[in-house]
Chain A
Amino acid sequence: MSKVVLDESRSDESTKGHISKILISWAVASIIGMSLVWFVLGPHLPPGTMTDQAAGQQFDIKFVSTLAVPVLFFVWFFFGYSIMKWRVRPGEDPLAGGANIRGNSKAQGTWYILTTVIVLGMAVYGTYFLVVPAGAGGGEGASPIWTPATKNMLQVQVIAQQWRFTYRWPQFGGMETTSLELPLNTEIQFNVTSLDVIHDFWAYQLGVKADANPDYNNIAFAKTQQTGRFVVRCDELCGIWHGAMYNYGNVVSQSQFQTWATNMEKQNAAVTKLLPKYATTYTPSYSGAGGGYYNTATDPNASL
């Protein structure tokens, strides 16, 4: 290699000028960007505010998005500035060296401290908003350690199987329905389980997501605060018809819900009798998916 020629201008340049140019434009852009995200985009961010958990997630997404703006802009502005400013122009020696900088303890130290603080802050933030809203709508396993304050909860069992969801209502005689109606302003405990493979109960607008595992009860909480329709989708690949495993539910007023539930209980009474006793999990029998989901007295496979 021929001897290195240095472009002396690089080493002589003042650092301060460059940094202040980057920082000022970055700060201005960030403030604008952050306000846009927080005030304009924020209220429209998913998953909406149908439950306290959905609203919590919306707030978290808004918060993180707002924080992401300055990080994104800092990298963009830095790269953009460097590329524009320090490009080799036509006619210059292409192989001349830049400033011989191997590192900068101040810049590196600031970077380490700053990223560590941000990251630890994010972890604390995430933990707080996981613990305080009782699991933030996510599946909390069979014995949740973070629970809502109220003990007076509507119990809804979500039973997933290939490829549909059904719901059982222990407070309404253990009836099983194919539709999901929920009362307004009520804390709901979803008990999610599966009869065959792993599914995932994702009630998008409710901000609830919990894997439906066979032989396992996965509990999630949410408190409704708006009426309306919501979609339930399976969110864990469960076979051929995974893509078609969805249905819809409604949050309705408490009186409407009472009417619906008592009607359903009456309508279903004959079927409910055939169902196995309400339990947190149901074991499929040898004979295949869902085969054991019947009372032993009437189960043709019971002797297996």
Chain B
Amino acid sequence: MSEITEERPVVDEEQLYHEAALGSNWWGARIAIALSLTLFGGIAFAYFYLRSLNSHGLWDPHGQTASTLMGSMILALILLSAIVSGYGNLKLKKGLTLDWQVANIFSLLAGVFAAGFQIWELTRINFYPGAFGYAGVYVAFAPVYSGVILLGMYWLETLIARSFRSNAALASDGGLGLSRSMKAENFRSANEGFSYFWNFMAFASIVFFVMFYVL
């Protein structure tokens, strides 16, 4: 029924869909950031809204907070994780895949510990969830926060596993960091997407730390 006209330009489908996949990595990561931003934005709205209303003077009548020590530790772990992961990315640009792997395994562990500490902190709070406004918002925040961190860590784990699986095959070509192969380019774009997301999470962590422990 249909035929192809003669003056058809040559389309390299493999290249075309490779580039589309890179673009999707880029957009997928940005959409993940947008989704988390709105998700946390809703919680931040709840925080500031209830804080400003201060119904019955019960936003946080006694200035209680969750353990600041634990909170600082979680923040420190997340920041450390983001910084080390970023350092690993610098090394990857120079072709040092092993350095990237070591840095990101550390980063992964730090992230997982941060999420774990967040859950632990939640079980150790010295107020009832419904005692006052702050209590409720904190109890709402903690599982979402650790859940998003764990999803991020799942993402990082898949990248690390990918790097182990494919690096040997790419060694002759400069490894994952420098190889011009599609596989390596796709990996690097996925990794770049993750690192943007993770930096966003580090930023969100600072904001929520200020909200829950400083303000």
Question: How far apart are A301's CB and chain B's nearest CB, in angstroms?
Answer: 17
User: Is A186 on the interface with B (CB-CB < 8 A)?
Assistant: no
User: Is A7 on the interface with B (CB-CB < 8 A)?
Assistant: no
**Considering the chains assembled together, what is the distance between the CA atoms of A283 and B55 in angstroms?**
11
User: Is B8 on the interface with A (CB-CB < 8 A)?
Assistant: no
CB-CB nearest in chain B for A214:
B55
**Considering the chains assembled together, what is the distance between the CA atoms of A116 and B51 in angstroms?**
39
User: Is B56 on the interface with A (CB-CB < 8 A)?
Assistant: yes
Which residues of B lie under 8 Å from residue A215 when comparing CB positions? 55-56
Bitwise, A273-302 to B at CB < 8 A (1) or not (0) is: 000000000010000000000000000000
**Considering the chains assembled together, what is the distance between the CA atoms of A283 and B58 in angstroms?**
13
**Considering the chains assembled together, what is the distance between the CA atoms of A175 and B56 in angstroms?**
26
Which residues of B lie under 8 Å from residue A283 when comparing CB positions? 56
**Considering the chains assembled together, what is the distance between the CA atoms of A215 and B55 in angstroms?**
8
**Considering the chains assembled together, what is the distance between the CA atoms of A215 and B56 in angstroms?**
9
Enumerate B24-72 residues with CB–CB distance to A below 8 Å: 55-56
CB-CB nearest in chain B for A215:
B55
Which residues of A lie under 8 Å from residue B55 when comparing CB positions? 215
Bitwise, A201-244 to B at CB < 8 A (1) or not (0) is: 00000000000000100000000000000000000000000000
Question: How far apart are B55's CB and chain A's nearest CB, in angstroms?
Answer: 6
Question: How far apart are A10's CB and chain B's nearest CB, in angstroms?
Answer: 29
**Considering the chains assembled together, what is the distance between the CA atoms of A249 and B130 in angstroms?**
40
**Considering the chains assembled together, what is the distance between the CA atoms of A283 and B56 in angstroms?**
10
Which residues of A lie under 8 Å from residue B56 when comparing CB positions? 215, 283
Question: How far apart are B118's CB and chain A's nearest CB, in angstroms?
Answer: 31
Question: How far apart are A130's CB and chain B's nearest CB, in angstroms?
Answer: 24
Question: How far apart are B120's CB and chain A's nearest CB, in angstroms?
Answer: 31
Bitwise, B166-209 to A at CB < 8 A (1) or not (0) is: 00000000000000000000000000000000000000000000
CB-CB nearest in chain A for B55:
A215
**Considering the chains assembled together, what is the distance between the CA atoms of A34 and B121 in angstroms?**
68
CB-CB nearest in chain B for A216:
B55
Bitwise, A253-283 to B at CB < 8 A (1) or not (0) is: 0000000000000000000000000000001
**Considering the chains assembled together, what is the distance between the CA atoms of A215 and B50 in angstroms?**
14
Question: How far apart are A193's CB and chain B's nearest CB, in angstroms?
Answer: 14
Question: How far apart are A42's CB and chain B's nearest CB, in angstroms?
Answer: 43
**Considering the chains assembled together, what is the distance between the CA atoms of A273 and B55 in angstroms?**
28
**Considering the chains assembled together, what is the distance between the CA atoms of A175 and B134 in angstroms?**
38
**Considering the chains assembled together, what is the distance between the CA atoms of A176 and B56 in angstroms?**
25
Question: How far apart are B30's CB and chain A's nearest CB, in angstroms?
Answer: 32
**Considering the chains assembled together, what is the distance between the CA atoms of A215 and B58 in angstroms?**
13
Question: How far apart are A8's CB and chain B's nearest CB, in angstroms?
Answer: 28
Question: How far apart are B57's CB and chain A's nearest CB, in angstroms?
Answer: 12
Question: How far apart are A287's CB and chain B's nearest CB, in angstroms?
Answer: 16
**Considering the chains assembled together, what is the distance between the CA atoms of A91 and B55 in angstroms?**
75
Question: How far apart are A288's CB and chain B's nearest CB, in angstroms?
Answer: 16
**Considering the chains assembled together, what is the distance between the CA atoms of A103 and B55 in angstroms?**
56
**Considering the chains assembled together, what is the distance between the CA atoms of A63 and B107 in angstroms?**
65
Question: How far apart are B167's CB and chain A's nearest CB, in angstroms?
Answer: 50
**Considering the chains assembled together, what is the distance between the CA atoms of A25 and B56 in angstroms?**
63
Question: How far apart are B68's CB and chain A's nearest CB, in angstroms?
Answer: 31
**Considering the chains assembled together, what is the distance between the CA atoms of A19 and B56 in angstroms?**
64
**Considering the chains assembled together, what is the distance between the CA atoms of A244 and B40 in angstroms?**
41
Enumerate B141-160 residues with CB–CB distance to A below 8 Å: none
Question: How far apart are B1's CB and chain A's nearest CB, in angstroms?
Answer: 12
**Considering the chains assembled together, what is the distance between the CA atoms of A255 and B56 in angstroms?**
41
Question: How far apart are A173's CB and chain B's nearest CB, in angstroms?
Answer: 28
Question: How far apart are B4's CB and chain A's nearest CB, in angstroms?
Answer: 15
Question: How far apart are B115's CB and chain A's nearest CB, in angstroms?
Answer: 35
* 3 chain-A/chain-B pairs, Cβ below 8 angstroms: A215-B55, A215-B56, A283-B56
Residues in B lying within 8 Å of A, measured CB to CB: 55-56
A-B pairs with the 3 shortest C-beta distances? A215-B55, A283-B56, A215-B56
